Amino acid sequence: MTTDARSLFSAGAPKAANSTVTIGRAKEPPTVAAIRACFPAFERRHGGQQAAYFDGPGGTQVPRAVGEAMTEYLFRHMANAHWAFPTSMETDGMLAAARETMADFVNGKPDEIAFGQNMTSLTFHLARSFGRQWNGPETEVVVTELDHQSNVAPWAALALERGITVRTVKMRPEDGRLDWDDLEAALTPRVKLLAIHRASNVLGTITDVARAARMARAVGAHVFVDAVHSAPHDLIDVQAIDCDFLACSAYKFYGPHIGILWGKRDLIESLDPPQLATASRNSPERMQTGTQSHESIMGAAAAVNFFASLGRGGDTRRRAIESAHHTLEERSRTLFAELWRELSSVDGVMLYGPPPEGPRTPTLSFTVAGHRTATVATALGERGLFLSHGHFHGPAVARRLKAYDGFVRAGCSCYTTSDEIGRLIEAVANVAAGRLAA
């Protein structure tokens, strides 16, 4: 099927959401300069320099098309859903089209997509839904030390509320990878669910979740995957993973702050999620609580369509997404290898996580000897280099690596340039040598 960009949404939907998508037309991927021109954020200057956004692991910048899609909805289609007047019916159509778009992003089906305020709230809701079926210490959930707290706290809450047991699989501190022997030992017939990350937002480690899912299936456990950090860097394919649920967040792949949950329809229908008495019990809205941020949903769909435009195209949106991932992976691998190589040669700089040649995202956590992480991030920020610092809701990783002050974290995104990498390397070297202070 060949799909024109303007037909990706139903009639009445904002055209701006799809104006950057080329599907069914052979083309070369856009240059980094062309990509950057889509982001108003690069109009900002700080410390005499154009702002360089290395904070992508915590949230990427937003292209103009995403803001336009959200504004178009708010100004011309704003309504609640499921009523019989025009803007409400337009909203219904646009929400359905957004589900189709997100289904293409994860390789699922539209009626398996739910939206929520963020991945954390969706995971708490899913955990409570499972919790209505679970009780007592013989019910076990397995998490890992590499997981973000949003994939730990919801299941830990069930330990308090329902008395279940939560077991934590160790990471290998020598390379920042999952301890597979420990996972195998943790997966016993008592385990009802394996909750696992696809990629660590602290170390960039990519975990083979398809392998983990096979191990969980062997003991009869369900599988929930946190794909928040991996989504902009590693193609999501719920069919290939064979997981039961997967969650991600649009603000990590150039969209607004909103979460997305995919789940197998038969499992969604088997759960009894907390809902209003008047709420629809039909999939997929049964996994949502209350009225959603419709404008953010439109922005998330626009972000996927923008992402799909970053490769060489394809005859379907899914194939365009696959192409974009391939193109961006090639670019980011080169940039990240340079960043790793140069920083590893700077005296006093410690790098964490697997090296560039391993399966990983282009996300680097580091420390500078003799300097607090907040001080380093502040010094870099004053020179227009925006990086985050802390443990990034991964306290277990920081403890295991004895990085008690956390890390400074840099990530490559679709708009990162070689010049920006060079600026960052030079600035970190100057901080380490005591030539640059906040």
Beta-sheet pairing, 349-352 with 171-172: unpaired
Provide mean pLDDT across the span 255-262.
Answer: 98
What rounded mean pLDDT belongs to the chain? 92
The pTM of this model reads 0.93
Domain limits for position 234: 91-305
Q: Is the pLDDT of residue 4 over 70?
A: no
- Label residue 127 left, alpha or beta by phi (over 0 means left) and psi (-120 to 50 means alpha): alpha
Higher pLDDT, 435 or 125: 125
Provide mean pLDDT across the span 54-82.
Answer: 97
Q: Is the pLDDT of residue 5 over 80?
A: no
Structure confidence by residue, pLDDT tens digits, 223-258: 999 999 999 999 999 999 999 999 999 999 999 999
* Banded model confidence at residue 14, pLDDT cuts 50, 70, 90: very low
- How far separated are the first and last CA of the chain, in Å rounded? 55
Q: Is the pLDDT of residue 15 over 50?
A: no
Identify the pLDDT of residue 274.
87
Identify the pLDDT of residue 147.
97
Beta-sheet pairing, 165-169 with 140-144: parallel
- CA 364/CA 353 separation, integer angstroms: 8
Structure tokens at 75: 């100004």
Q: What are phi and psi of 46, to 5 degrees?
A: -150, 135
* Banded model confidence at residue 435, pLDDT cuts 50, 70, 90: confident
Provide mean pLDDT across the span 22-41.
Answer: 84
* 410, part of any domain: no
Instruction: Check which CATH number belongs to the domain holding 150 and give it.
Output: 3.40.640.10
* 112, part of any domain: yes
Domain count, the chain: 1
Q: Is the pLDDT of residue 166 over 90?
A: yes
Identify the pLDDT of residue 285.
83
Identify the pLDDT of residue 438.
56
* 285, part of any domain: yes
Structure confidence by residue, pLDDT tens digits, 172-209: 999 999 999 999 999 999 999 999 999 999 999 999 99
Structure confidence by residue, pLDDT tens digits, 277-290: 655 666 678 889 88
* 40, part of any domain: no
Radius of gyration of the chain (CA): 22
